Amino acid sequence: MKTRITELLGCEYPLIQGGMAWIAEHNLAAAVSNAGGVGLIAGGSAPIDYLREQIRLCKEKTDKPFGVNIMMMSPNADDLAQLCIDEKVAVVTTGAGNPGKYIPAWKEAGIKVIPVIPSVALAKRMERAGADAVVAEGTESGGHIGENTTMCLVPQVVDALEIPVIAAGGIGDGRGVAASFMLGAEGVQLGTRFLASEECQIHPTFKELVVKAKDTDSVVTGRYTGHPCRNIKTKFSKKLANGEKDGSLSPDEFEQITLGSLRKAVQDGNLDEGSFLCGAIAGMINDIKPCAEIVKEIMEQAEKLLKY
Ligand code: TUI
């Protein structure tokens, strides 16, 4: 399956792993890259020394291309952006904001730049700013999301841009990949499917929630704070959703009790205070497998459906 994305990134499959904050570290990224996709390490709001170490550990585990995701809302985004240049990272993706100010320096350093965007307007701005490709991310995704669905967003972004488009949001198997290609995408990004992988370092309770989730076990919280996030339904996320709905939780109180909640989910599996960010496709994911198997099965299924 050769597309402009495999050509751009020098990978076997046009498949990248989402740069999930607090989750995507070097073991996961290296496993996905070794499987023929492109793994990403999440910068999130990590300290610079942590990210430098993760990049170096990843280089030890794979000689294939891998990337880093820079979260624009991170207080140290400037430092992490420069670190990618210093460490000669092959690919940078960005999320939760407009990375325009970093693009010239990344391009100058030979880094492939792929912003994650939730709208056609931002996609066009990113193309004008020099992005190599975009990830068009639908609201089915886990974590911080826009409003548009993958099915509606991807073809509109494809029509609006010349650069290649990677589809994200709600893709969990080869059918989702094939569907994305029918919409005009030339690559896919998957996050949730890799939560249930052997190499993913999240707490076992988190993996169990993903594997056990049904189609209706996904909830969006925090719309009224301006940072809507998709989570797995738990006692905690239901409390947040109800507090938002009935007005018993002010936006300030919401921000207070969700502070640190990603770490509590990922590291502690804390069901009472953790935010288990996860995409809506979790209902379809029923097993934990090595990344190599996940990537191979998905791409074989997609190739069969698309008759490559
Ligand atoms: O970034 C993500 N997903 C994320 S980031 C994250 S960490 C976080 N923690 C606390 C609050 C919020 C986030 C968890 N999940 N996905 C990519 C993505 N980017 N989705 C939506 C966007 C986005 C939104 C607005 C990209 C650009 C944008 O631009 C607004 C503007 O014009 O500046």
- Closest-CA residue, ligand 1 atom 7, reads 21
The 112-117 sheet, strands edge to edge = 15-17, 187-190, 165-168, 134-137, 112-117, 91-95, 66-71, 39-42
CATH of range 4-200+286-306; options 3.40.710.10, 3.30.420.10, 3.20.20.70, 3.40.50.800: 3.20.20.70
Q: Cα separation of 218 and 237, whole Å?
A: 9
181-211: pLDDT as tens digits? 999 999 999 999 999 999 999 999 999 999 9
Specify the amino acid at residue 235.
Answer: K
Mean pLDDT confidence for 280-290: 98
Q: How confident is the model at residue 308 (pLDDT cuts 50, 70, 90)?
A: low
User: Phi and psi for 220 in degrees, rounded to 5?
Assistant: -100, 125
Each residue's pLDDT tens digit, 206-231:
999 999 999 999 999 999 999 999 99
- Tell whether ligand 1 has an atom less than 6 A from the beta carbon of residue 96: yes
Summarised one tens digit per residue, pLDDT across range 64-110 is: 999 999 999 999 999 999 999 999 999 999 999 999 999 999 999 99
Residue 72 three-state SS:
coil
Ligand 1 contact, 123 CB (< 6 A)? no
Q: Say what the pLDDT of residue 42 is.
A: 98
Cα(262) to centroid(ligand 1), Å:
14
- Domain spans of the chain, in order of start: 4-200+286-306, 214-277
Closest CA to 193 of 213, 178, 179: 213
CA–CA gap between residue 52 and residue 158 (Å, rounded): 34
How far apart, in whole angstroms, are the C-alpha atoms of residue 53 and residue 55?
5
Task: Answer yes or no: is the C-beta of 274 below 6 A from any ligand 1 atom.
Answer: no
Q: Residue 247 has which token pair?
A: 């007005």
Mutate to test the pocket of ligand 1, among 144, 145, 259 (most ligand atoms within 8 A of CB): 144
Question: How confident is the model over 21-72, as pLDDT tens digits?
Answer: 999 999 999 999 999 999 999 999 999 999 999 999 999 999 999 999 999 9
**Band of pLDDT at residue 1, cut at 50, 70 and 90:** confident
> Among candidates 240, 203, 191, which has minimal Cα distance to 219?
240
Look over the chain and give the mean of its residue pLDDT values, rounded to a whole number. 97
